[in-house]
Amino acid sequence: MAHSKLTAAELALADAQAALGRNDNAAAIAAFSRAAAAGASPKLTARPHALALSQMGHHTEAIEVFRPLFAKNQKDAATINLMGVFLKRAGRLQKAAEVLEKARKLRPQDLSPWQNLGNVHEALGNPERAAFFYRGGLKIAPNSSELWRLLGAQQLSLMQFEDAANSFRRGLALQPADPMLCALLVIAYQRDGQIDEARAFIQKMRAARPADDDFAVVEARFKVHMGDTAGALAVLRAILERQPAHLSAGLLFAVTIGDSDRELVNTTLETVVAAHPDSFDALNRLTDSYARSRYGSETAHIERAYQLAQKLMVQFPAHVPNAARTLRTIFMRVLDEDRMAQTGQLPDLLRLWQHGSKHSFVHYELGQVETLQDRIELVEWHRQWGQKVAAKIDPIHLPQSPALALGRKLRIGFMSSDLRNHPITYFALPLLEGYDREQVEVFCYSFYEKEPDKVQQHLQGQVTAFRHWPRRADAQVAQGIAADGLDILFELGGSTAMNKLEVMAYRPARLGASWLGYPHSAGLEQIDLILTDPFLRPADPRLLIERPFEMPETWVALSRMFAPHEIADGTPQARKGYLTFGTANNPYKYTPACLDAWAGVLREVPNARFLFLRPEGGADSFMQGARTAFARRDVDPDRIDFIGVRGDHMRHYNEIDIALDSLPHVGGTTTCEALWMGVPTISLVGPGFLERLSSSNLSNAGLGDLAVFSVNDYIARAAELAADPARRMALRHGLRAQIAANPLGQPARFTKHFYDLARKVASE
């Protein structure tokens, strides 16, 4: 019997070795499994079996297969190092660092643990530690161009630009034809302000290798940085005509085109991913692009993005922290709570994003807070980000202007790429149309990359000047704004697509202010003011960086862009026979605490239903995620309804009796839309700025009692209103008149208050 087992094991091992010889990892894994079942020693099978599993992307299984050998070889540096590699690939970065550190101490003369530790700390967002380990590796292998490149990349993160350039030059001395080193050296020159050196290096490089497309991409990247988008695209299109699947050209082309032609981006990236299935960057970029796609069937794009996100997590688990923004965006959109939890802990991600200066990544995370300390730390994250940005920028010289007291006009600027048919304009419109032209000059700045729509064209005729500067470099934008001699510049876009928050760091106006686009302190201390009102301003001063530009009543007023949409007769409950709660808020605001509260309402009002009014509502993955989320909170998933629509959603408020606000990140535009359609909204008031937006809207519409201060009161107030059909009927058909009688519905009054306050602040 033993001989029979041994023979079976030997045969399986022979099959495994043959499979490895022909690079058939799947067959090798199956053969190793047979060998183990037949009694083969882990000493013979564990290492090659685990390596084959890891090559196939089965990193967690590789760890389990390798664990017995690892446990028996705690003094063998090579075995410990390999376990560290498996842990790194599985995304268990902290544990990988512990294991690799043990390997390094056992054999400090071995290069592999040093380099692997550098990789792990780089992925963890610790550039100082990563640089330390890369330097250690270079003491062992000073002729490694790869280590010089890795070290230089960390020095770039640390803003040690001269050191980074020296590292890249050392690498190029060893590998003169390395396009990645060339690209990084150009970036180091650019970030250090050595534009002439960068340009001269590119000219020399291209002259030496005029037919090398990799070096042409370096030139194109430089053109993008310098604001020559057309020149960059011409270079990239020429490359892609010759090589449609060129990796770096395709990736840069996709980034440069961006939202201006998302369909072309997806087509390009699909080609690149098919030709480079082992490229994490390509798959991550394609996944993100589908999540951003609005053309054609948005539902189909959501499903494609979800499919790719799941593939990315399985294929590249060690890269999950680097892909976390992409993954979390998609898992939020489809309410996949389980996979969302697997993308990492927010404190770790915030540290990683801080080192990468990824301000836009944090927008979707503003509501992922539980304690007051969480909120304070999030403010400090923004402050640190702003200090890093400002450290790289010299404020520009502002022209002298006569004092306002001498009678000149007040000069106000509004900067946003959303000054078009967009919710930003729904609220900004009164200030752009209704100002006193004898007293005020208004300037608008947009970087929108598509053709101006009718709303933007209208605004161009209303304001003193409308500067449309798509793809212009930040420094050029700042110089252009400074030339207009503004008293106050209001930044309205935050870090959303096609906006330029960092321009504020140049201080292009005497005073900088924030409004609308980013419901939190943006972080730049060069933004002096943030527009608030008595309901909106946080009581705790630690929750704002800017000082309040506090309006006397409301921070917004409804403009005529909230056009009349027909309100159906009666109430939804009267028409359908059951009460419907619902939301049109974005899924990134659906935190676990929010879902708990919504489920609590449905348990309290057992015959009611809940409606999601969202573009995602037509996607099978979202419907499944929502039903699962409510089922695990003891709510029958059959009580959940969906309307999938984008753009034409206002009429569907006729299907909702009571809107339930998201929490802790509440609605803004959606709350105003619901009220405009006669739908009362229940909102939880929290300590932070973004937790008080709806409270302001409700209070300034005469509905302050619907803004409550505890989850228990949130549930109770929803149930109370559900039991009051007379009030709901009165609100359904009388709320527009009530809004018009209150500050939220008086745009002319709001406009006067705004410009009066602006003149007062600018005169101080």
Residue 381 has pLDDT above 60, yes or no: yes
Q: Work out the average pLDDT over 161-185.
A: 93
Which of residues 180, 206, 226 is at a domain's end?
226
Same domain, 143 and 120: yes
Least confidently predicted of 53-62, 119-128, 265-274, 705-714: 53-62
The answer to whether position 220 is within a domain reads yes
Annotate 238-267 with b (16+ C-beta within 10 A) or e (fewer): ebbeeeebbbbbbbbbbebbebbebeebbe
* Residues 287/314, Cβ–Cβ less than 8 Å: no
Q: Tell whether 726 and 756 lie within a shared domain.
A: no
Indicate whether 114 belongs to any domain: yes
> Is 186 in the same domain as 216?
yes
Q: What is the CATH number of the domain that holds 651?
A: 3.40.50.2000
Statement to judge: residues 585 and 734 lie in one domain: yes
Question: Has residue 563 been placed in a domain?
Answer: no
Distance (Å, whole) CA 619 – CA 609: 19
- pLDDT tens string 622-634: 999 999 999 999 9
Residue 323 falls inside a structural domain = no
Read off the tokens for 417: 């790429």
Place of tokens 């990789």: 119
pTM: 0.84
In the predicted model, is pLDDT for residue 1 greater than 50?
no
**DSSP string over 26-91:** HHHHHHHHHHHHTT--HHHHHHHHHHHHHHTT-HHHHHHHHHHHHHH-TT-HHHHHHHHHHHHHTT
Q: Looking at the structure, do residues 653 and 521 belong to the same domain, yes or no?
A: no
pLDDT band at 348 (very low <50, low <70, confident <90, very high): confident
Residues 6 or more apart in contact with residue 376 via CB below 8 angstroms: 542, 543
Q: What confidence tens digit (pLDDT) does each residue in 568-585 have? A: 999 999 999 999 999 999
Q: Is there a single domain that holds both residue 526 and residue 597?
A: no
Domain that holds residue 449: 404-557+749-763
Q: Tell me what pLDDT residue 6 has.
A: 55
From the list 68, 25, 37, 32, the residue with the least C-alpha distance to 49 is 32
Q: Bigger pLDDT: 709 or 391?
A: 709
Is a pLDDT exceeding 70 seen at residue 5?
Answer: no
The reply to whether 694 and 759 lie within a common domain is no
Could you tell me if 174 and 141 lie in one domain? yes
In the predicted model, is pLDDT for residue 4 greater than 70?
Answer: no
Is the domain of 487 the same as that of 591? no
Out of 175, 194, 226, a domain closes at 226
Residue 98 has pLDDT above 90, yes or no: yes
Looking at residues 84-103, what average pLDDT do you find? 90
Omega before residue 664 within 30° of 0, cis? yes
pLDDT for res 402: 86
Q: Is 683 helix (H, G, I), strand (E, B) or coil?
A: strand
For residue 137, pLDDT over 80 is answered with yes
Write out the H or E segment, with its range, that includes residue 532: strand 529-532
Same domain, 671 and 691: yes
Query: What total number of domains does the chain contain?
Result: 3
pLDDT at 207 over 70: yes
Q: Which of 200, 226, 252 is the last residue of a domain?
A: 226
pLDDT of 266 higher than 80: yes
CATH number at 58 reads: 1.25.40.10
**Lowest mean pLDDT: which of 194-203, 458-467, 689-698, 701-710?**
194-203
- Of the candidates 546, 508, 293, 540, the one whose C-alpha atom is nearest the C-alpha of residue 399 is 508
Tell me what the pLDDT averaged over the chain comes to. 93
324 in a structural domain: no
Residue 546 falls within a domain, yes or no? yes
Examine residue 238 and state whether it is found in any structural domain, yes or no.
no
Helix H, strand E, coil C: the string for 404-436 is: HHHCCCEEEEEECCCCCCCHHHHHHHHHHHCCC
Strand, helix or coil for residue 211: coil
Q: Are residue 661 and residue 687 in the same domain, yes or no?
A: yes
In a domain, 676, yes or no: yes
pLDDT at position 168: 95
Structure tokens at 602: 């449905």
471: CATH: 3.40.50.11380
Say whether both 62 and 88 belong to one domain.
yes
